[in-house]
Amino acid sequence: MSTPPRQKRLTPNDITALKGQRPVVSLTAYTTPMARLFDPHCDLLLVGDSLGMVLYGMDTTVGVTVEMMIAHGQAVMRGVTRACVIVDLPFGSYQESKEQAFRTAARIMKETGCDGVKLEGGEEMAETVAFLVSRGVPVFGHVGLMPQQVNTSGGYRSKGHTDTEADKIRRDARAIDEAGAFAMVIEGTVEPLAREITGTVSAATIGIGASPACDGQVLVSDDMLGLFNDFKPRFVKHFAELAEVISRAAEDYATEVRARTFPGPEHTFQIRPKKQD
């Protein structure tokens, strides 16, 4: 029996195939309405564990749970028809063993319908990446600055400035590439190293603070929309200033409610005139 393909969304293989063809466009997405808005413009939507910081006000991503990722993964899946959707494995849900990683990844894929998972780590995660890929889980890797390791890696500073650090990132990228990752985020990494890695791995490299030399770019959507204004890292560009727009809208609403000019007659229900018999 042959069954027609169920979906026209881009697959992880399609993302890898874009390498050398055209830049891969990616944003984080956490909710259905935002996913609907981003979907026509993006190749890949990442349900990033950055949601802990941008939606829940956490200081780091360390406190994010599998349940949070599933709830937001389901929300994003309801909003897409085109983009490939990848969900982050949160801290503590995969580092213990490759079996733990498979259990978490399988649960997330079954409960959300997403196309694969992202995990942070290089050489130390290569065996896990190979284990997942060989069992049907597409893996998006993440090297360079790894936010889940912020407590042991010296904070959110850019990477690859020393030979030792650059060598480690080089080995990390090669290890997860050889393990079968379809793509990898390179975060907060100096341009020459990001360029070199992009030129040597088969996976598509998706940069965030890693220069235009990467095969594609990703940004945290709330950052690029100017919604998350606590601080603005060097690599972020605001393509809109939505915090100002929202704040002004809330102020106007408050003014009109206090002045009783909202709701107006056009927003108010009146009793319909009775029909004549």
Alpha carbon 273 to its chain's center: 53
CB of 218 to ligand KIV, least distance (A): 5
Whole-number Cα distances in Å, 243 to 60, 223, 240 = 21, 10, 9
- Considering the complex, state which of residue 68 and residue 185 has its C-beta at the smaller distance from ligand KIV: 185
Among 15, 34, 45, 48, binds ligand KIV (CB under 6 A): 48
Active-site residue 256, yes or no? no
Nearer to ligand KIV, 191 or 250 (CB): 191
Q: Do 109 and 73 touch, CB atoms closer than 8 A?
A: no
Q: Is 7 left (phi over 0), alpha (psi -120 to 50) or beta?
A: beta
With CB under 6 A as the contact rule, the residue among 129, 185, 194, 225 that binds ligand KIV is 185
What is the rounded distance in angstroms from the CA atom of residue 252 to the CA atom of residue 41? 31
Q: Where are the beta strands (DSSP E) in the chain?
A: 24-28, 44-47, 84-88, 116-118, 139-144, 183-187, 204-208, 216-219
Q: What is the largest CA-CA distance in the chain?
A: 91
φ, ψ of residue 84 to 5 degrees: the values are -75, 135
Based on CB atoms, which residue is closest to ligand KIV, 181 or 185? Answer: 185
Find the part of the chain contacting ligand KIV (CB under 6 A) among 30-38, 46-54, 107-115, 255-263: 46-54
Cβ-based nearer residue to ligand KIV, 28 or 189: 28
Calpha distance 159→145 (Å, rounded): 6
Q: Is 189 in the site for ligand KIV (CB under 6 A)?
A: no
Task: Give me the 218-257 binding string for ligand KIV, x by CB under 6 A, dash otherwise.
Answer: x-x-------------------------------------
DSSP code of 52?
A: H
Binding mask 50-69 for ligand KIV (x = CB under 6 A): x-------------------
Point out which span in 31-39, 47-55, 149-157, 246-254 binds ligand KIV (CB under 6 A).
47-55
Residue nearest ligand KIV (C-beta atom): 48
Binding site for ligand KIV (CB under 6 A): 28, 46, 48-50, 88, 142, 185, 208, 218, 220
Active site residues: 187
